[in-house]
Structure 1
Amino acid sequence: MMGELKRRRFVGLGSGIAFTAATGGGLATAPAARAAVGTGRAHKTARAADASAGVAVTPADARYPDLISGNNQRWTSSPDKVVLPRSTAEVVAAVQEAVTAGKRLSVCGGGHCFEDFVFNADIQININMGLLNAVTFDTSMNAFKVGAGATLLDVYEALYEGWGVTIPGGICHSVGVGGHVTGGGYGNLSRQYGLTVDHLHAVEVVVVDAAGTARAVVAARDSSDAALRDLFWAHTGGGGGSFGVVTAFWFRTPGSTGEPGALLPKAPSKIFLTLAGWPWEKVTEDGFGRLVDYWGTWFEEHNTPGTTAGSLYSWLMLNHRDSGSMGAVVQLDGSLPDAPSVLSDFLAGLDQALGLHSATVRHDGVLDSQYTSTRLLPWLRGTKYIGAISPTQLDPTTRGCHKSAHLRARTPQRQIDAMYAHLTSTDGPSTMTGIVLSASGGRISSVSSTATAVAQRDAIMKANFESRWYDKADDAKNVGWIREAFGAVYGDTGGVPVPGDVTDGCYINYPDGDLSDPAFNTSSVPWHDLYWKQNYARLQQVKAAWDPGDVFRHRQSIRLP
């Protein structure tokens, strides 16, 4: 019964768990044939290897309504057609058609982009990558090749079932890899293994030169050509939709050698998964403040890569009071030294911070209370389960508004007070509204801020302000709540999390169009520096070299210098 009660409590918030801005991305692939062996599931290979040509869907086609919007129903489009290619050559042809005709194009991976970068009124040709979803081992590259239309679940299943390995990607498993990877990518294993892009080896991208000619190139971490290395680097966190169309990714951990099963991180055999839920009627203002402070302090103090505590991952789900409860999700590799005791101590601190004490019960060596429930599950089963805890994150019929922040230190009391005031407001936003804190740090921080395009390497957590709802008539109320809450929490720095001692800008995979609006960003820091900080100038140089005609653009794409 407790497991079911905890699960229902999580339905309240769609959560900042849909991590990716699936804008297709900026890279494309080389036309040369490459040897590929093995796959996770037969249907993936069959779809990708279909000898028939790609699909073109026009407004008269019955499939059209399903292909002109993504998961966020605030954003729709009415393109002349949607192209679903089955090969890199077909992507090149679709891009060339758009360039020759002077038509605006966009690229859709999994359709989870929070903003209107993929679906808007200006789009005339949309390239949907869904049929390019094969996951194989490429012997010529000695790396795992992933089609840009694959979802995270496609990747997790194929890599794990075929070779026992994985990548540290996001928890919302219907997210497409195209946007997820190009934005950096992180999830429940990132404190243990780093960001997704820390294991990226190469990308295949369709680009357009100054003469307007589309072609495919492969850019790798170890390319001999400096311009190609720059193009690769830009796809390690520069975001999607700025440089070209990514058609494939190759993954291999830097420095790894040997058989395929040794080239990426081994997936844990079993993981501890804890769901915690606290009824709002038992949460006082002081208890709320202590909880947020404890959670941030714990991750500030347990941030050493390679340690058990430095591998523990958690979300703290601060749902609006109207949802009925707040919660937390915690994951830890069950094979790590002293994992049960590290997890037990962390969980006990959550209840104690809230001032809630109850009898404990031991589950698989972990001490639970009446507010927490822990299970030891096989990794893939647990990954599928935790990805479905909140049905709203997989619901393609919701409307949404999202804002983000990186934090380098625990949340200051003034920000906690502002959070509490808005989470207990009586203005009636959607019950799927709140603030999600997600742990960062650990292995992520072992990479320099310029080695990839992800600049916020020493952040200890992210904050995602989110609301989801169903009725268009509720847009103003819910968007207004998010804007007011975010503006109040970061009111000391112009309404946005300006890089400094505590906050460190925003996450490109939680894109926020308001950052470029002076009505909401009154700081002196432009939107692009909130995303990329010192790395933006280099991204602009890559843009100038590979997309001089600005073919690939959206509201917050990399600008030409």
Structure 2
Amino acid sequence: MPDIAFSEVTREDPRYGSLVARSRNTRFVGTPSRVLVPRHAEGARQAVAQAVRRGERLAVRGGGHGLEGLVDDPGVTTVIDVSALDDVAYDPRRGAFAVGAGALMGDVYRSMYLKWGLALPAGTCPSVGLGGYVQGGGFGALCRRHGLVVDHLEAVEVVVADEGAGARTVVAGRDPADPHHDLWWAHTGAGGGNFGVVTRFWFRTDDAAGRRPEDLLPRPPATVLFASATWDWDDLTERDLLRLVANHGVWHAKEQADDSAYESLYSALYLNQRRVGRLVLNAQIDGGRPDARRLLEEYVEAVGEGVRASRTTSWQRLPWLQATARDVENRGGLTRSKSKGAYLRQPFDDGDGSLIHRYLADADYSGHTTIVLFSYGRAVNTVDPEATVVAQRDSLFKCYLGTYWADGREDATHVDRIRRLYRDLFARTGGVPASGDRTDGSYINYPDVDLRDPRWNSSGVPWHDLYFKSNYPRLQRVKARWDPQDVFRHALSVELPG
């Protein structure tokens, strides 16, 4: 039988509905003429070549966790879905691990750990697709100890548009002597859908010695100790919320990076809407440390010190692989959302806390707004801001702001609310977290088209500076070299210079 390079799914195909509705944010459902599902890397090249020759508007989908409608744009006529490219293998020729761009995080963790005892320092949601996550410069529970996932990216295989053949496949490596090195660099934080279709990544820690597979990536802890502290909204005052936010900020600001005790700490403080019923601090640490319980208890106590609202703390110790299977992002029926992000160089102050309390304490608001402060820094901040596209290398926190709801008739209400919260929170810098003493822009994996809109960004700082800072002109040069026809584009894609 002839090789089937890719499946073509049109609107008449029963698979069509499943493929176009893969977005985790159900506000966005695309209506492309067809979805192409490559069976292998050469199939991806053939799929791109055909679409380019036909002059079709392309978009690329991996795991389907995109928070904005970048793939589900009404102008897109062909979606290339790489989810079938999910292999995980050791490549002895490169001395690195080859992972298909469509692999889900949980499957990558399982395969690497069971076969080699290793882990990528990647995200905490097992259903996220690796393709978009890596290209955005992803972070996760191991990042304070081992850096971002792109800090371990050895090479990338990309199908790029070609004016003559329609498409060609290029492998670009980390070695500066590689003639395609600029293309590798562009895939270390610019986000997906900019330069081509990634079909495969190779991972290897930069200073790994030798070529034994077991020595090439970090070893995760054998066990993980979790603590979850919750404070009831029913008896929470504004003073309590301010104290909680201040304690959390002070602890991280004073933490000594040269003390290894807390290098494995990963923490997320969830400031939730009153109707959720509680504020939550989730924290984890290497469970193999003999002092793990004491360290985590001291951390939780420090964050909660002086907060008079009642607190409940639960504990759990899990083997590492089981710990990676916990899906902390499951929101049930609240599948519609609007999200925003910020890097914080300094903690929120009391003025910020009062504003946050005013929004979150509103008992009349029917949605679920949350502000999450993720612990950051340590190994992440040891990397030169120009070494990867991720230029934010001195922040204390990565901040996520989002609101969730179920009824599509309420979209405008909820989107407007999170827009106003974000604008008010960063009013001192034009309604966005512009780079300065307190903030340092945003994270492209929390894409937000409002940053292009002067109604919501009055800072005078272009959207691309908020994401990429001074690395953007270099990204434009890469764009001009590898995608001069602007085949791969969306609302927040790198633009051609000019």
**Shift of residue 224 of structure 1?**
2.8
Which position in structure 1 is the counterpart of 2:51? 98
Separation in 2 of the partners of 1:539 and 1:405?
A: 21
Separation in 2 of the partners of 1:544 and 1:528?
A: 16
Which position in structure 1 is the counterpart of 2:486? 550
**Shift of residue 182 of structure 1?**
0.4
Separation in 1 of the partners of 2:164 and 2:349?
A: 52
Separation in 2 of the partners of 1:396 and 1:176?
A: 21
Alignment of 1:181-196 (within 5 A): 181-196=134-149
Q: Is the 8 A contact 2:8 2:37 kept in 1?
A: yes
The letter for the 2-side match of 1:373 is S
Which position in structure 1 is the counterpart of 2:168? 215
Separation in 2 of the partners of 1:336 and 1:448?
A: 30
**Shift of residue 548 of structure 1?**
0.7
Structure 1 position 68 matched with structure 2 position 33: no
The letter for the 2-side match of 1:242 is N
Which position in structure 2 is the counterpart of 1:503? 439
Q: Is the 8 A contact 2:232 2:309 kept in 1?
A: no
Q: Is the 8 A contact 1:82 1:128 kept in 2?
A: yes
Assess, with a 3 A threshold, how the Cα gap between structure 1 residues 550 and 328 changes in structure 2: closer, same or farther.
Answer: same
SS at match of 2:75: coil
Which position in structure 2 is the counterpart of 1:375? 316
Which position in structure 2 is the counterpart of 1:275? 228
Separation in 2 of the partners of 1:396 and 1:181?
A: 28
Q: Is the 8 A contact 1:303 1:310 kept in 2?
A: no
Q: Is the 8 A contact 1:303 1:441 kept in 2?
A: no
Which position in structure 2 is the counterpart of 1:126? 79
* 1:353-374 deviation digits (Å, cap 9, x = unpaired): 41357xxxxxxxxxxxx61112
* 1:348-402 deviation digits (Å, cap 9, x = unpaired): 1222241357xxxxxxxxxxxx6111222111112213x2x4521xx59711100
**Shift of residue 308 of structure 1?**
2.1
Assess, with a 3 A threshold, how the Cα gap between structure 1 residues 271 and 208 changes in structure 2: closer, same or farther.
Answer: same
The letter for the 1-side match of 2:318 is L
Assess, with a 3 A threshold, how the Cα gap between structure 1 residues 334 and 99 changes in structure 2: closer, same or farther.
Answer: same
**Shift of residue 471 of structure 1?**
1.3
Assess, with a 3 A threshold, how the Cα gap between structure 1 residues 224 and 105 changes in structure 2: closer, same or farther.
Answer: same
Assess, with a 3 A threshold, how the Cα gap between structure 1 residues 267 and 306 changes in structure 2: closer, same or farther.
Answer: farther
Larger RCO, structure (CA 8 Å, separation 6 or more) = 1
The letter for the 2-side match of 1:451 is A
Which position in structure 2 is the counterpart of 1:414? 351
The letter for the 1-side match of 2:450 is D
The letter for the 1-side match of 2:348 is T
SS at match of 1:480: helix
Q: Is the 8 A contact 1:71 1:397 kept in 2?
A: no
TM norm structure 2: 0.96
The letter for the 2-side match of 1:535 is N
Structure 1 position 391 matched with structure 2 position 330: yes
* 1:135-157 deviation digits (Å, cap 9, x = unpaired): 11111111111001101011100
Assess, with a 3 A threshold, how the Cα gap between structure 1 residues 246 and 299 changes in structure 2: closer, same or farther.
Answer: same
SS at match of 1:515: helix
Unpaired runs of 5+ in structure 1?
A: 1-49, 358-369
Separation in 2 of the partners of 1:245 and 1:421?
A: 44
* 1:23-75 deviation digits (Å, cap 9, x = unpaired): xxxxxxxxxxxxxxxxxxxxxxxxxxx96542111100111111113111111
Separation in 1 of the partners of 2:463 and 2:282?
A: 31
Structure 1 position 493 matched with structure 2 position 429: yes
Q: Is the 8 A contact 1:110 1:178 kept in 2?
A: yes
Separation in 2 of the partners of 1:526 and 1:111?
A: 27
Separation in 2 of the partners of 1:210 and 1:82?
A: 22
Q: 2:390 aligns with which of 454, 458, 469?
A: 454
Q: Which sits farther off after the overlay, 342-351 or 525-534?
A: 342-351
Structure 1 position 57 matched with structure 2 position 12: no
The letter for the 1-side match of 2:390 is V
The letter for the 1-side match of 2:88 is V
SS at match of 1:391: coil
Which position in structure 2 is the counterpart of 1:429? 366
Q: Is the 8 A contact 2:125 2:329 kept in 1?
A: no
Q: 1:291 aligns with which of 216, 223, 244?
A: 244
Alignment of 1:228-377 (within 5 A): 228-258=180-210, 259-302=212-255, 304=257, 307-336=260-289, 338-356=291-309, 371-377=312-318
Separation in 2 of the partners of 1:235 and 1:205?
A: 10
Q: Is the 8 A contact 1:515 1:527 kept in 2?
A: yes
The letter for the 1-side match of 2:146 is Y
**Shift of residue 303 of structure 1?**
5.0
SS at match of 2:325: helix
**Shift of residue 325 of structure 1?**
0.9
Q: Is the 8 A contact 2:135 2:189 kept in 1?
A: yes
**Shift of residue 480 of structure 1?**
1.5
Assess, with a 3 A threshold, how the Cα gap between structure 1 residues 235 and 321 changes in structure 2: closer, same or farther.
Answer: same
Assess, with a 3 A threshold, how the Cα gap between structure 1 residues 526 and 214 changes in structure 2: closer, same or farther.
Answer: same
Q: Is the 8 A contact 2:266 2:285 kept in 1?
A: yes
Identity of aligned residues (%): 44
Q: Is the 8 A contact 2:251 2:302 kept in 1?
A: no
Q: RMSD of the alignment, in Å?
A: 1.7
How many equivalent pairs are there?
494
Q: Is the 8 A contact 1:440 1:459 kept in 2?
A: yes
Separation in 1 of the partners of 2:277 and 2:309?
A: 17
SS at match of 1:222: coil
The letter for the 2-side match of 1:118 is V
Separation in 2 of the partners of 1:102 and 1:306?
A: 56
The letter for the 1-side match of 2:94 is M
Separation in 2 of the partners of 1:173 and 1:108?
A: 17
Q: Is the 8 A contact 1:164 1:266 kept in 2?
A: yes
Q: Is the 8 A contact 1:104 1:125 kept in 2?
A: yes
Separation in 2 of the partners of 1:74 and 1:104?
A: 21
Separation in 1 of the partners of 2:395 and 2:466?
A: 13
Q: Is the 8 A contact 1:429 1:477 kept in 2?
A: no
Assess, with a 3 A threshold, how the Cα gap between structure 1 residues 353 and 110 changes in structure 2: closer, same or farther.
Answer: farther
SS at match of 2:43: helix
Assess, with a 3 A threshold, how the Cα gap between structure 1 residues 396 and 556 changes in structure 2: closer, same or farther.
Answer: farther
The letter for the 2-side match of 1:490 is F
Q: Is the 8 A contact 2:5 2:46 kept in 1?
A: no
Separation in 2 of the partners of 1:351 and 1:422?
A: 21
**Shift of residue 305 of structure 1?**
5.8
SS at match of 1:316: strand
Q: 1:512 aligns with which of 448, 451, 459?
A: 448
The letter for the 2-side match of 1:410 is P
Q: Is the 8 A contact 2:124 2:141 kept in 1?
A: yes
SS at match of 1:436: strand
